[in-house]
Amino acid sequence: MLHVKEDLDKAFNKELFVIKNDLYYQQIDLHKNGKKELLRVDISYKPHSTLSGDTYSLRKTKDGRLVGFIADAMGKGITAALTAMATTRFLNYFFDEMEEDSAFHLEIWTKKLLKFMQTNLFDEEILSVLLMEYDVHTSTLKYASCGMPPFFMMEENQACQSIRSNNPPLSIFTESIRIGTLSTHAIVKMLCYSDGLSESLLNDEKAYASCVKQDFIEAFCVKEFHDKVNTRIGKGDDDLTYIFIQRLEVPKAFKTLRIESTYEAIDQAL
């Protein structure tokens, strides 16, 4: 049993290794209409078991676009975990190839993923995946949602959009992937997630899907949303993966300092 646990731990570490997050502990500076703002991108990834069918990555292109995906492989256990890992490795590898050769294109990324899935899924197997490209300079969001739950976008006037999937889950029979485009000029926060979040049960046996949108609307920040999720469903009934994106205005009284990472420089700045 000890050897089995060690092997499972190694497999889980491998799952984490293939995931890429270029935005880890970063805030992105924005300048809109003369206002200075920050963009925060936070990920919560909590596999329900060692071998997870959920996966994700967050990448940043050379010209500053934000690219990411959340994928949910069908089923549980080894088969789902292998599909998730293969998907992650392929998407990250091809992202790096495009960035090295010329520039990233979401349309090419999705076409290559479809071709890869057509030769790497079983006949009865499906993959749900949400792929996104967020251009912070033009305030444009491109997305391809394949069998994923709706993602939410909240505007400055407190209106909240639910963006439904624009493609079925991927299978060997899928012939094409549609890409949608949305304006994010008025968007202040966004939530993307796998169905492990929305389908986990509340204390009254209802699915969290019945109130996840309201919790997102009411959450002032990502920590408050984390707390609401923990209160509602605890560890959940499946893998829990969600991305919380928020635009924050920086008060004029705030100043940005760039200093060397030495004690002397910090003391001098303070």
Pick the CATH number of 2-269 from 3.40.50.2300, 3.60.40.10, 3.20.20.70, 3.30.360.10: 3.60.40.10
pLDDT band at 107 (very low <50, low <70, confident <90, very high): very high
Domain residue spans of the chain: 2-269
What pLDDT sits at residue 264?
Answer: 78
**Sheet with strand 27-32: strands edge to edge:** 27-32, 35-46, 240-249, 187-193, 151-155, 160-163
Task: Please enumerate in sequence order all residues whose Cβ is within 8 A of that of 215, keeping only pairs 6 or more positions apart, or say none.
Answer: 225, 228, 229, 232
Q: Is the pLDDT of residue 270 over 70?
A: no
Q: What's the whole-number mean pLDDT along residues 190-196?
A: 98
Average pLDDT value for residue range 91-118: 98
> Position of tokens 């033009």?
138
pLDDT for res 259: 74
How far from chain centre, in Å, is Cα 55?
A: 9
Q: According to the model, what pLDDT value does residue 42 have?
A: 96
User: What is the end-to-end Cα distance of the chain in Å, rounded?
Assistant: 54
Tell me which of 220 and 24 has the higher pLDDT.
Answer: 220
Per-residue pLDDT at 65: 97
Give residue 262's pLDDT band: very low, low, confident or very high (50, 70, 90).
confident
| pTM, 2 dp | 0.90
Average pLDDT over residues 84-92: 97
What are the pLDDT digits (tens) for 134-184?
999 999 999 999 999 999 999 999 999 999 999 999 999 999 999 999 999
Please tell me the predicted confidence (pLDDT) of residue 256: 66
Residue 267 reports pLDDT greater than 80? no
pLDDT of 78 reads: 87
Residues 6+ apart with CB under 8 A from 235: 46, 48
Query: What does each C-alpha distance from 81 to 5, 55, 127, 187, 192 come to in angstroms?
Result: 16, 9, 12, 34, 21
| DSSP structure class, residue 201 | B
Taking residues 44-73, what's their average pLDDT? 95
Is the torsion defined by CA of 150, 54, 61, 252 positive or negative?
positive
- Provide mean pLDDT across the span 204-225: 97
195 band by pLDDT with thresholds 50, 70 and 90: very high
User: Would you say residue 2 has pLDDT above 70?
Assistant: no
Question: What pLDDT is attached to residue 126?
Answer: 97
For residue 197, name the pLDDT band (cuts at 50, 70, 90): very high
Q: How confident is the model at residue 245 (pLDDT cuts 50, 70, 90)?
A: very high
